[in-house]
Chain A
Amino acid sequence: MSAPYRTEAGGRIDRSRTLNFTFDGARMQGVQGDTLASALLANGVHLMGRSFKYHRPRGVLSAGSDEPNALVAVRRDDARYTPNLRATEVELYEGLQAESQNRWPSLRLDVGASARLLAPFLAAGFYYKTFMWPRKAWDRFYEPFIRAAAGLGKAPTQADPDRYASRYAHCDVLVIGSGPAGLAAALTAAASGARVMLCDEQAELGGSLLTDQGALIDGQPTHAWLADALSTLAALPNVTLLPRTAAFGYFAHNLIGLNQRLTEHLPTAQATGVRERMWSVRATEVAICAGALERPLVFPGNDRPGVLLAGAARTYLNRYGVTPGRRVAIVAGCDGAYRTALDLHAAGVTLAVIADVRPAADGPLLRAARAAGLIVRAGMTVTGTGGARRVTSVSLAPVRADGSVGGVSETIPCDAVLMSGGYTPSVHLFSQSRGKVVWDDALKTYVPGASVERERSAGACRGSFGLAAALADGANAGAEAARAAGFDVAPKTFAAEATEASADSVIGALPQPASTKTGEAFVDWQNDVTVKDLHLAAREGFRSIEHIKRYTTTGMATDQGKTSNLNALGVVSHALGAPMAEIGLTTFRMPYTPVTFGSLAGVSRGDLFEPVRATAIHDWAVEHGAVFEDVGAWKRARYFPKAGEDMHAAVARECLAVRSACGIFDASTLGKIELIGPDAAVFMNRMYVNAWTKLSVGKCRYGLLLGEDGFIVDDGVVGRIAEDRFHITTTTGGAARVLAKMEDYLQTEWPELKVWATSTTEQWAVIALQGPKARLILEGLVESVDLSPEALPHMSVVEARICGVTTRLFRVSFSGELGFEVNVPAEYGRAVWEAIWAAGRPHGLLPYGTEAMHVLRAEKGFIIVGQETDGTVTPDDVGLGWAIGKAKPDFVGKRSLARPAMSAPNRKQLVGIFTDDPALVLEDGVQIVAAPGQPTPKRLIGHITSSYPSAALGRSLALALVQGGRARMGETLYAATAEGDVPVRVTAPVFYDPDGARVNG
């Protein structure tokens, strides 16, 4: 099947390479170089989508990333299904399968289009006005309705199988946009020797040069000049060219986000490599050469398929060899429309009429059109279009000198209406860079004002329209950027010969007879916002453009109002009787064009989503069937189930093993800090609540660390290795925080102290051996160190050789049993663990995990920072007031503890909790109340912080923070569970071996 609207020759396509594709299942053919939109147009298909709100049939409007209508899904398979792509950007490949969206059962026959009948009720603010009441209708009716109606395309149903990449990059000059300004900037900057990156969202570099015909640069036709310029740039080692790469975000200090599409244009069999690459480019200087976006004209029926932008039609003709119709009408709001008229005329397309909506249009392009015999009617307006799924006519009426519309509308048959209101500078990236746009009265548009970042705009994106102006502006920008980055270069000069257009353009709605309904004059195609909606917002009292935007949703669709913003301002300006400059422009946000989640995630997916930290003993635990839990980034063995055991059974067995024989536990994740220097003890005295001066070498102390606010932030055993050396342990999660806090005080508060803190968390694997047989097991392994209670009492540390490895052997206990913690250089960790394991097995040694560790410590009433504490807990609150060195004049947090509120008797204090039902294990976090059956809100006097079944006690136990808890011993309180208030008894928080005899073995 040949494509009926394909021209015989011309364009940047390869007619000899036919490509088969389907659209909604219909088989069609395009050629190499087509976009999906150009291929569909070549086949005479304008209807490419349905609008979001009213499901109106829509044709393609533009030829670029500003397309609001032709949103399609492209399917490679069930997993590679990409919705919401602009058909104007989808490059055709052999076998491409595209589907239209937002329609059912088909694009031509869409049930949802009945929403159009509701249009009178779906005006601006409909949602705010309708879904207010009754409240209960939300859950049952409104929300399901909105959810069903909302959204454009469908998300793929399977995990994304593709590979995405990310890359940091740096350059001296980043040029965004490769039209004449961008190329001139890049050529100039590159000549300076600067590192230059040039990106463009399109498949081919060249911007408007890909469409322009007839102009000359340096005596060459534009296409030839473009080819030369690109080969020059490609040959330079200091230049990186990035086609198919959209600059989507401009972040602080010249960090630009670029999204590069690498395989989207390839047939599926070849699309095997990295699909997209996210570039984070830090540019010393930026030249924004983003060009301008063509503005539609606003008249009734302007959204009928077959009505499209005149410049886009010229692109389809000159770049893709496609005509939008056979008999076209042109509605000109600017001179540029005449270029389209002339090129179409030259291609043999019949021009039904050129209606110029400007009262006094003139200029070389208009005259050229007349000279070519084209009918130009100036001072006209469009009062409507005819046709159903394709435009069949356009109705014109003359505009009187006073602006009113007079006479009878004349209806002219046509199969395409090409309109152009002028060009809006693309200030999106400039605005994202925090630059403020300013209104230019001469150009009648917003242009970039003063820069905030190290950037400059050049060419059409700052209102320098025309080929010669863009080239000169770009060259200047390139030179300025290179010089600002420290390179020396003069702007290159280019001789351009082109017919220049005037800046005369049209903004807002075209004048209409009083009788015309403006409900079908669209301003924002994608969000179905009409002139009537904007007028309604103005009538209802909205004045700020930011409010009008949100009320009507104009400019809030996925195209961010690329085609609609300025017209919306024009309509609002007219409705409010305020000049455009006073209306202001809404802020542009990133992304400029949508970015896939895959690209944003980049390589951070699956196992690489974030670091997973494993200890030196991790593999042993895996081999022994451990179930792991995440503690921060660490994987920790939670329990070691035997066949058929659930967690409860495994933990009970592990706990009993520790209490009766011995358990071995991987404590490697504990934070460890080596503190060294002559002022080490002085520093410890200032940081921790405890007194350290008298701690002997070889002895340990439980250290408690507060914030300056007096609340507990960390804890851990600290051993004195030498007079000037401490081995500090911290919680697993607090390691980095504690070290940073120490550095903060050392560097900024007490720089005079001669002491340094070094993280040794990962230097040591820590093997905890806890239980009455711990000494027995270790004795045979430790070389020439006396482990007897006299030589190595509880809370001491000694250097010991085990299996030839020098270790730090701590006699400490977090279980209440006789305990040791062997610190082994990590790369010997597993070997030493296995040696201890082998030595211990005859004695009943069992591995235990973090769950048993938690139960064991809870049985002893030992707190866990972050579980019993929550940033509002003082040492006294959890019964650790004894740890405070009372004689010390100062330590971090001491002053705050002196505030009266910190010792108020009704503060929440740590207590033990027994449920009346010994089998009931409360959930962590359950609230405590004094009396049962209170209506909500209940008066809450505390909460459960830890709760476990205890094998040693044969019942459940819990720790809780309860107001005035220590004075409530024996009281019955109630735990407010989801099932009701459960009676509980307050008890001391030490449940097991309250005298602490067992720790001595």
Chain B
Amino acid sequence: MADLTPLTRAAPPAPKSPCLTNAPTADRLLLRGDREVMAAAGAAFGLTLPTLACRAVAVADVAALWLGPDEELLILADGAAPAAMVRLANALIGQPHSLVDISHRQTGLGISGPHAEAMLAVGCPLDLHLSKFPIGMNTRTVFAKTEIVLWRTGPDAFRIEVWRSFRAYVLGLLEEASHEFTP
């Protein structure tokens, strides 16, 4: 008989650059549906899901990121997905929607410090100036040859969500970029 001790989630090693961190292990849900679905889902968490394009809202234990007109990424505490799915299912009875657990599909990276914008500009073609990409803005975009979700969490702080197999590539580019700023 095999050992049935609950397993822990494998976490990637910490980045080398001091500007980069692994985001805490998190659960993630991808919610798709119309505006009413988003409103009802937000109510279930006690927050107003963003209706403005490319904006995120966050409270203590849940962040909701607008990814598309009918697509919202919910980032939750590690292990919170099953209960959240039940809560959402109850809140959305009778409203067609799609709710998928993608906790393991992607991982989070934090980029912070005075050079955060410039480091991201190595691979991200968006204008990241604070006036054009303010705190709370998030969007799917490209980073060099892959796709990321980029979320500005502070004046000098961003979070990247990237599919797990592309993490090494994104991290490698950011660490390469960091050489420009940390001699």
Contact = CB atoms under 8 A, between A and B. Distances in A.
B7 A804 contact: yes
Interface stretch (B14-22, B39-47, B54-62, B172-180): B172-180
A46 B59 CA distance: 72
A613 B179 CA distance: 24
B118 A763 contact: no
Contacts of B168: 612, 614
Interface in A563-613: 602-604, 607-608, 610-613
B102 interface: yes
Nearest to A607: B172
B32 A762 contact: no
B127 A827 contact: no
A507 interface: no
Contacts of A804: 4-7
B173 A603 contact: yes
Contacts of B105: 759-763, 826
A980 interface: no
A803 interface: yes
B1 interface: yes
Interface in B46-92: 70
A762 B163 contact: yes
Contacts of A762: 104-106, 163-165
At the interface, is chain B mostly helix, strand, loop or mixed?
A: loop
A251 interface: no
Contacts of B123: 166, 168, 603
B144 A603 contact: yes
A435 B92 CA distance: 56
Interface in A614-644: 614-616, 633-634
B4 A783 contact: yes
Q: Kindly state the interface size class of chain A when it binds its partner.
A: 35 or more
Contacts of A826: 104-105, 164
Given A604-B145, A614-B168, A168 B121 contact: yes
A603 B102 CA distance: 30
Residue among A760, A763, A781, A804 facing the most chain B CB atoms (10 A cut-off): A763
A789 interface: no
Interface stretch (A285-293, A389-397, A829-837): A829-837
Given A165-B177, A763-B102, A616 B7 contact: no
B100 A758 contact: yes
A603 B176 contact: yes
A483 B4 CA distance: 69
B93 interface: no
Contact of A780 (B2, B104, B125): B2
A134 B172 CA distance: 54
Interface in B116-172: 118, 121-127, 129, 132, 144-146, 163-166, 168-169, 172
Nearest to A839: B2
Residue among B5, B102, B132 facing the most chain A CB atoms (10 A cut-off): B102
A760 B144 CA distance: 23
Interface in A799-855: 803-805, 825-832, 835, 838-839
Contact of A168 (B96, B125, B179, B180): B125
A170 interface: yes
Given A616-B164, A804-B4, A282 B98 contact: no
B122 A828 contact: no
Interface string A729-757: 00000000000000000000000001110
Residue among B1, B106, B126, B163 facing the most chain A CB atoms (10 A cut-off): B163
Nearest to B165: A613
A280 B126 CA distance: 11
A677 interface: yes
Contacts of A170: 127, 129, 132
Contacts of A282: 125, 127
Interface string A144-181: 00000000000000000001011111100000000000
Contacts of B125: 168, 280, 282
Contacts of B98: 674, 676-677, 755-756, 758
Contacts of A633: 165
A760 B30 CA distance: 10
Nearest to B132: A170
A781 B101 contact: no
Residue among B98, B101, B169 facing the most chain A CB atoms (10 A cut-off): B98
Residue among A170, A634, A759, A839 facing the most chain B CB atoms (10 A cut-off): A170
Interface string A666-679: 00000000101110
Nearest to B119: A167
Given A282-B127, A758-B100, A763-B102, A838 B180 contact: no
Nearest to A758: B100
A77 B14 CA distance: 37
Contacts of B106: 762
Interface residues of B, number: 51
Contacts, number: 143
B74 to A, nearest CB: 13
Nearest to A273: B183
B169 A167 contact: no
B122 A165 contact: yes
Given A195-B129, A603-B177, A838-B2, A608 B172 contact: yes
A826 to B, nearest CB: 4
Contacts of B2: 780-781, 803, 835, 838-839
B10 A827 contact: yes
A804 B179 CA distance: 43
A759 B145 CA distance: 19
A106 B100 CA distance: 72
Contacts of B179: 163, 274
B7 A634 contact: no
B118 A758 contact: no
A274 B104 contact: no
A775 to B, nearest CB: 15
A761 B179 CA distance: 33
A831 B127 contact: no
B122 A608 contact: no
Contacts of B145: 604, 610-611
A803 B3 contact: yes
A760 B101 CA distance: 9
Interface string A550-574: 0000000000000000000000000
A118 B36 CA distance: 83
A238 B43 CA distance: 42
A677 B166 contact: no
B112 interface: no
Interface in A763-785: 763-764, 780-781, 783
Contacts of A163: 176, 179
A838 B2 CA distance: 9
Given A168-B125, A803-B7, A830-B10, A614 B165 contact: yes
A827 B9 contact: yes
Contacts of A610: 145, 169
Nearest to A669: B165
A606 B11 CA distance: 26
A780 B10 contact: no
Given A677-B96, A826-B164, A839-B2, A611 B146 contact: yes
Given A677-B98, A803-B4, 14 more contacts: A166-B123, A168-B125, A169-B121, A170-B132, A604-B145, A611-B145, A611-B166, A633-B165, A634-B165, A758-B102, A760-B102, A762-B106, A825-B104, A826-B105
Interface of B: 1-7, 9-11, 30, 32-33, 70, 96-106, 118, 121-127, 129, 132, 144-146, 163-166, 168-169, 172-173, 176-177, 179-180, 183
28 contacts: A163-B176, A163-B179, A165-B177, A170-B129, A603-B177, A604-B144, A607-B172, A608-B173, A610-B145, A611-B146, A615-B165, A616-B164, A633-B165, A676-B98, A676-B100, A677-B96, A677-B97, A756-B70, A758-B100, A760-B102, A760-B105, A762-B164, A763-B100, A780-B1, A805-B7, A825-B103, A828-B10, A832-B7
Q: 4 tightest A-B contacts by CB?
A: A756-B98, A613-B165, A676-B98, A170-B127
